A = this chain, B = another copy of it.
């Protein structure tokens, strides 16, 4: 095992953006639906609008304005709003429920499954996502993600970046925070994890927000590992 992963027993992964391409997947589903129904709609903008509602919705839970509400239900609240904004009025209840489950069908990045299979040989690999358990399980079955187990904000009733999510993952795995590595494409997620003693690996996902968008892709020596993708992460950890 490489020094950067010394003492690491388990890796927990952010999912939306890190493991799967939420924007491309949602836009593709919207585009297919639009073609079938004859709508004229910017599918990528629809995906962006849906995702834009995500953090504010979780903040309403974190501030106790809403009681604990799982992501499937938050996604649905946001969807109902943006359908109005995009002037889509012809979806039945069953259509909306199915569209909401598009988040259960997100596609992995091309290196995801191969990388996870390698990492699984050396580490316990688990999700640590704000997505709810059923969503993450359906996604795993659909995309062939070989998780050892599924951990979710839903289990801790706290969304990242609440400390309970990071520390709850270490506690339920019965390991020390320093034996747990958080893997994410988002620096803020990793900075919160590090604050609670977790090890950190940044994985770059330059296309998360679409071509021509430029998320912050600079490596940061504050993280234990800076990796190009999951295969590079496996390489750097000796898996």
Contact = CB atoms under 8 A, between A and B. Distances in A.
User: A148, A149, A155, A174: which has the most chain B beta carbons within 10 Å?
Assistant: A149
A147 interface: yes
A52 interface: no
A207 interface: no
Nearest to A123: B141
Interface stretch (A21-29, A40-48, A132-140, A219-227): A132-140
A137 B132 contact: no
A133 B148 contact: no
Contacts of A172: 132-134, 154-155
Contacts of A4: none
B124 A141 contact: yes
Contacts of A189: none
Interface residues of A, number: 18
Contacts of A124: 137, 141
B148 A137 contact: yes
A232 interface: no
Interface in A99-141: 124, 132-134, 137, 140-141
Interface of A: 72, 124, 132-134, 137, 140-141, 147-150, 154-155, 172-175
15 contacts: A72-B174, A124-B141, A132-B174, A133-B149, A133-B173, A133-B174, A134-B172, A134-B173, A134-B175, A137-B173, A140-B148, A147-B148, A147-B149, A149-B150, A154-B172
Those 8 A-B pairs whose CB atoms lie nearest each other, nearest first: A134-B174, A149-B150, A133-B172, A134-B173, A137-B149, A155-B155, A149-B149, A137-B148
